[in-house]
Structure 1
Amino acid sequence: MKLIKLLSVIVIFTVIPSNAQNTAEQTVNAFFEALNAKDVAKIEKLCLDNLVLNSLSVTSESSKLNQQNLKGFLHSLKQMPETLKIKEVITKTKSRDDNYIEHFWLEYEFYVNDKLSHKGVNSITLLKGANGWKISAITDTRISEK
């Protein structure tokens, strides 16, 4: 009987961590859920501390590159008024992966207070470490007609 209990405990502790292990796709989905909710704490858990965010804003008249680290990105989200509603909608997804790196190419539309602000592409790279999949880099285009 003690052997059965011991084996049960071993099975529980070996199965639970593997079920808790997230996939890269789940990490990306969780990131956008957190972004749309402006959940800074959740975003921070999904990203590596040294995350790099490159954004290329494009209009018919110009383009401008903006670079941020994770701290700057989270700060900008915190500065948004609570009344400002943001929603990023992924319209098309492609991915490439191996066991430890996965890359997503995501076409999207971005809405502010339910009005289309811009469209573009997110290029997101994730790395798999001891704590599961983490976002290491995000590069996006922000194309608007303004």
Structure 2
Amino acid sequence: MKKTVLSLLLLLTAGSTAAAAQTSASETAAVKKTITTFFDGMRRGDSTMVRGTLAPGAVLHTINTRTGVQLGTEKVAEFLKAVGTPHKEVYDERISFEQVLIDANLASVWTPYQFYVGPKFSHCGYNSFQLVKLAEGWRIVHIIDTRRKDGCK
């Protein structure tokens, strides 16, 4: 009897672990898709596409180190205006997904990047994204990044 109960518990645990891993993989893909869509919108100059990836009340920060460490805040409306205003060169932020952490409706994503204006390298750094899963899907609630011109890959 003890062996039967133990075997049943092991099977239930293995099944729930497999289901959690599958959910995690699909949630990770959904989180990455939101961030990828954000940057695709930037490249296209499509502020509506970018806006669709942001949660209400989203916050954009940059850590500036030109004159000591300073925290800069960019208003979302100004960022969207810059993206959507016609410009000759493509704003091309090339990222890679280094780490994606998810717990329930919260995701934290770490992405190194290189930023180009058209074909010209501008700067590099790291982005840290915080996302929340709302009824309509994963939305970016906070982005903070570093920016530098040297030490880039």
Please tell me the root mean square deviation across aligned C-alpha atoms, in Å. Answer: 2.1
Q: State the SS of the aligned residue for 1:143.
A: coil
What is aligned with 1:108? 113
- Does residue 76 of the first structure (1) align with residue 82 of the second (2)? yes
Q: Percent identity?
A: 28
CA 1:24–1:83: 2 relative to 1, 3 Å: same
List structure 1 segments (4+ residues) > 6 angstroms apart after TM superposition.
none
Amino acid of the residue matched to residue 149 of structure 2? Answer: S
Considering Cα pairs closer than 8 Å and 6+ residues apart, tell me whether 1 or 2 has the greater RCO.
Answer: 1
Measured in 2, the distance between the counterparts of 1:72 and 1:103 equals 24
What is aligned with 1:6? none
TM-score (norm: length of structure 1):
0.75
**Structure 2, unaligned stretches of length 5 or more?**
1-28
- Does residue 30 of the first structure (1) align with residue 30 of the second (2)? no
Residue 48 (structure 1) shift: 1.2
Measured in 2, the distance between the counterparts of 1:135 and 1:103 equals 10
- Aligned equivalent of 1:138, options 134, 143, 153: 143
Greater shift in the superposed pair: 84-93 or 62-71: 62-71
Amino acid of the residue matched to residue 34 of structure 2? Answer: T
1:1-146 matched pairs, under 5 angstroms: 23-59=30-66, 62-79=68-85, 81-145=86-150
Measured in 1, the distance between the counterparts of 2:107 and 2:97 equals 16
Deviations 1:2-28 (A, max 9, x none): xxxxxxxxxxxxxxxxxxxx8111111
Q: State the SS of the aligned residue for 1:83.
A: coil
Q: State the SS of the aligned residue for 2:38.
A: helix
Structure 1 contact 92–108 (Cα < 8 Å) conserved: no
TM-score (norm: length of structure 2):
0.72
CA 1:85–1:62: 2 relative to 1, 3 Å: farther
Residue 92 (structure 1) shift: 4.7
Structure 1 contact 49–70 (Cα < 8 Å) conserved: no
Measured in 1, the distance between the counterparts of 2:81 and 2:136 equals 24
Q: State the SS of the aligned residue for 2:87.
A: coil
How many residue pairs match? The answer is 123
Structure 2 contact 97–109 (Cα < 8 Å) conserved: no
